[in-house]
Amino acid sequence: MQEPPVFDEADRRLTLISVLIVFLLSAMSQTVVATAMPRIVSDLSGLHLYAWATTAYLLASTVMVPIWGKLGDIFGRKPVLLWGIGVFLTGSWLCGLAGEFGDLPLIGGGMTQLITARALQGIGGGALFTIAFAIIADLYAPRERAKFSGLFGSVFGVASIFGPVIGGFFTDHGTFEVAGHVVEGWRWVFYVNVPFALAAVAMITLKMPALPPRGEGRIDYGGAALIVVGFTTLLLAITWGGRDYGWGSPMILGLLTVSLASLTGFVFVQKAVRDPILPLELFKNRTFNTANGAAFIYSMAFMGVTSFLPLYMQVGQGVPATRSGLTMLALMVGLVASSTINGQLVTRTGVYKPFMIGGGAVLIVGVFSLCFIGPDTGTLDLAWRLLIVGIGLGPGQSLFGLAVQNAVPPHQLGVATSSGQFVRQIGSTMGVALFGAILTWGLTSELGRLSAADPAAQMQTLELSDLQRMAMERDADPDLAAARAADPATRAADQIIRQSFSTAVVYGIVFSLAVLLLGFLLMLKIPGVRLQDRVPPPGPSATPAEALAKPGT
């Protein structure tokens, strides 16, 4: 067995800082755009393509995750990460240039240029999360790396809280004129990535140790193509289903059919090729199956709840967007604090399962408390419930991935790490889609019931997009909101909308609670092995941790 490489502590520390910058870039690229999108759509005349600016990034980053992980195993983390940053930077730069030169051949107008560039940015973004976590796994032993989970949780919290604020600031105050040419402020939402990425590139190039490849072999091009087609069509079906097309429509059924056929072909290819993208032998590992399954379910429930709570506060409670953002801060405070504390405790004790179970129980309590919110729930009343949810989420942000890394052979570390990120992103997408479908059903049902009880309030069917538009208009024009409140008929209609949407949100939370209970039962099946105290040596001959570790509690 090869001896593990020894790294200088100063180089490891600088590498950790550069990886945190990369992680921040990846997280911010998804949160900073949200507040700028209305202005972008207005400038580029692309209202009908609004959702694609987000969908393109999500699709590209998700389907590329396992491919980047395999490339890191074959060629080494450092060159693959630099390539990923380069692709991400190119995409960011092109996003900022969208529409500057009018219509372009093949690509078209400004909005389609932005969507294309966002897809390119997403391809690079898929490498940032995946390779960043794999590098930490290469540099630090599983027991030691647990304490860094708080740092990554903090970065995630910073991106979630300050990303929308930064996006709004640049959009509102970043416009300037150069030689008679006006540069819109929203373009800085994408250009701001450049200096941070260049700093990370310099630190990685100069100080990051030359980590030896953990595996060997060739790229499985057939498997890569099939997994891209399979999950792209699946994500499109999940994203479009119930929103743009009916779940039983030919478009959705066709996409699901193509997805099923592609993924079935992917499984056969993985069995046949010598160097598969996703080795099927990993699915014989109990920790790999149970930890990734629990991560999938927890991500689905978490994103379903948190994605629509700001809209609930703005429409259901009638609070401004700024206050809704500050209320969500309670969730992030709980998440960061819990992640940090649990990471230190896992490093100290060498076991992770008790902290998983504790966090899962607290999360269930927190989501259960959200089942009792309504249009009259106060800001502080909601904040303490979100604080409990954040505390429960803390351990799950890192310990599922840590368990998988601890249980697989070193030569499969990259693909195993990427699998965790992959199932999280798929789970998040499905959670938002399913929660949105339940919200739409609940909203339609409640509007019909309450309108029938109050014929004076003439209500029509509303979609979630209508509520989002109402929330934006109300926040942008307080005088309009005051005028609506002064009119009895309009006030009655608004009250019905608030009550209906609040009830619909509770329906979705009850669904998420049921999903979490299933995830908790699956989490109990994760083997409670002890974390390794040393970095495993490179090479395929190394023994998996499950064969070496003693059972823990």
pLDDT score of 18 more than 60:
yes
Q: How confident is the model at residue 546 (pLDDT cuts 50, 70, 90)?
A: very low
Alpha carbon distance 498, 512 (integer Å): 21
252 and 193 within one domain:
no
Terminal-residue alpha carbon distance, the chain: 30
pLDDT, one tens digit per residue, over 34-69 is 667 767 877 887 766 766 777 788 778 888 888 888
Q: Which residue has the higher pLDDT, 481 or 387?
A: 387
126 and 199 within one domain:
yes
- Predicted local distance difference test score (pLDDT) of residue 468: 61
Q: How confident is the model at residue 461 (pLDDT cuts 50, 70, 90)?
A: low
Q: How confident is the model at residue 149 (pLDDT cuts 50, 70, 90)?
A: low
Identify the CA nearest to 532 among candidates 282, 346, 289: 346
114 and 246 within one domain:
no
136 and 254 within one domain:
no
One-letter identity of residue 26: S
Q: Determine, yes or no, domain membership for 155.
A: yes
Q: How confident is the model at residue 191 (pLDDT cuts 50, 70, 90)?
A: confident
Identify the CA nearest to 142 among candidates 287, 336, 293: 287
Alpha carbon distance 356, 359 (integer Å): 5
Q: For residue 362, give both structure tokens.
A: 């607290």
Q: Determine, yes or no, domain membership for 315.
A: no
255 and 161 within one domain:
no
104 and 168 within one domain:
yes
Q: For residue 179, give both structure tokens.
A: 């030689």
Q: Determine, yes or no, domain membership for 21.
A: yes
Alpha carbon distance 21, 15 (integer Å): 10
Q: Which residue in this structure is represented by tokens 């190039």?
A: 205
- Predicted local distance difference test score (pLDDT) of residue 456: 52
- Predicted local distance difference test score (pLDDT) of residue 545: 43
Domain end, chosen from 274, 308, 341, is at: 274
Region of poorest pLDDT, from 50-54, 111-115, 402-406: 50-54
Q: How confident is the model at residue 401 (pLDDT cuts 50, 70, 90)?
A: confident
Q: Determine, yes or no, domain membership for 434.
A: no
CB-based contact 422:65 (threshold 8 Å)? yes
pLDDT score of 425 more than 60:
yes
pLDDT, one tens digit per residue, over 361-374 is 999 999 999 999 88
Identify the CA nearest to 492 among candidates 531, 535, 453: 453
Q: Determine, yes or no, domain membership for 19.
A: yes
Q: Which residue has the higher pLDDT, 484 or 359?
A: 359
Identify the CA nearest to 356 among candidates 125, 172, 232, 521: 521
Alpha carbon distance 260, 277 (integer Å): 18
CB-based contact 360:115 (threshold 8 Å)? no
Please tell me what DSSP assigns to residue 314.
I
- Predicted local distance difference test score (pLDDT) of residue 256: 92
247 and 123 within one domain:
no
Full residue range of the structural domain in which residue 259 is found: 220-274
Instruction: Kindly list the distances between the CA atom of residue 396 and the CA atoms of 106, 110, 358, in Å, as whole numbers in the listed order.
Output: 44, 40, 10
pLDDT score of 329 more than 90:
no
CB-based contact 135:21 (threshold 8 Å)? no
Phi, psi dihedrals of residue 529, rounded to the nearest 5°: -85, 160
One-letter identity of residue 440: T
Q: For residue 380, give both structure tokens.
A: 């502080």
Q: Determine, yes or no, domain membership for 348.
A: no
The pLDDT mean for the chain works out to 78
- Predicted local distance difference test score (pLDDT) of residue 259: 92
190 and 259 within one domain:
no
Domain end, chosen from 217, 234, 255, is at: 217
Domain end, chosen from 217, 238, 262, is at: 217
264 and 210 within one domain:
no
Q: Tell me what the mean pLDDT of segment 219-230 comes to.
A: 84
Q: For residue 431, give both structure tokens.
A: 């959670």
Q: Tell me what the mean pLDDT of segment 308-312 comes to.
A: 77
Q: Report how many domains make up the chain.
A: 2
- Predicted local distance difference test score (pLDDT) of residue 549: 40
Please tell me what DSSP assigns to residue 273.
S
Burial (0-12, 13-18, 19+ Cβ within 10 Å), 456 = exposed
CB-based contact 413:134 (threshold 8 Å)? yes
CB-based contact 123:87 (threshold 8 Å)? yes
- Predicted local distance difference test score (pLDDT) of residue 490: 65
Alpha carbon distance 336, 330 (integer Å): 10
Region of poorest pLDDT, from 101-105, 325-329, 370-374: 325-329
116 and 152 within one domain:
yes
Share of the chain above pLDDT 90, in %: 11
Query: Which alpha helices (DSSP H) does 273-349 contain, by range?
Result: 286-311, 321-349
pLDDT score of 300 more than 90:
no
- Predicted local distance difference test score (pLDDT) of residue 253: 92
**Residue 97 CB: number of other CB atoms within 10 A?**
16
Q: Tell me what the mean pLDDT of segment 161-190 comes to.
A: 76
Region of poorest pLDDT, from 26-40, 357-371, 456-470: 456-470
190 and 66 within one domain:
yes
- Predicted local distance difference test score (pLDDT) of residue 541: 43
Region of poorest pLDDT, from 153-162, 243-252, 393-402, 461-470: 461-470
- Predicted local distance difference test score (pLDDT) of residue 387: 92
**The domain spanning residue 196 has which CATH number?**
1.20.1250.20
CB-based contact 160:444 (threshold 8 Å)? no
Q: Determine, yes or no, domain membership for 212.
A: yes
Q: Determine, yes or no, domain membership for 206.
A: yes
Q: Which residue has the higher pLDDT, 178 or 74?
A: 74
163 and 56 within one domain:
yes
DSSP-based three-state secondary structure for 265: helix
Q: Tell me what the mean pLDDT of segment 535-545 comes to.
A: 49
Calculate helix-pair angle for 379-393, 353-370, nearest 10 degrees. 160
Q: How confident is the model at residue 542 (pLDDT cuts 50, 70, 90)?
A: very low
Alpha carbon distance 366, 361 (integer Å): 9
Q: Which residue in this structure is represented by tokens 């008929």?
A: 489
Q: For residue 118, give both structure tokens.
A: 């966002």
**b/e sequence 329-349, b meaning 16+ C-beta within 10 Å:** bbbbbbbbbbbbbbbebbbeb
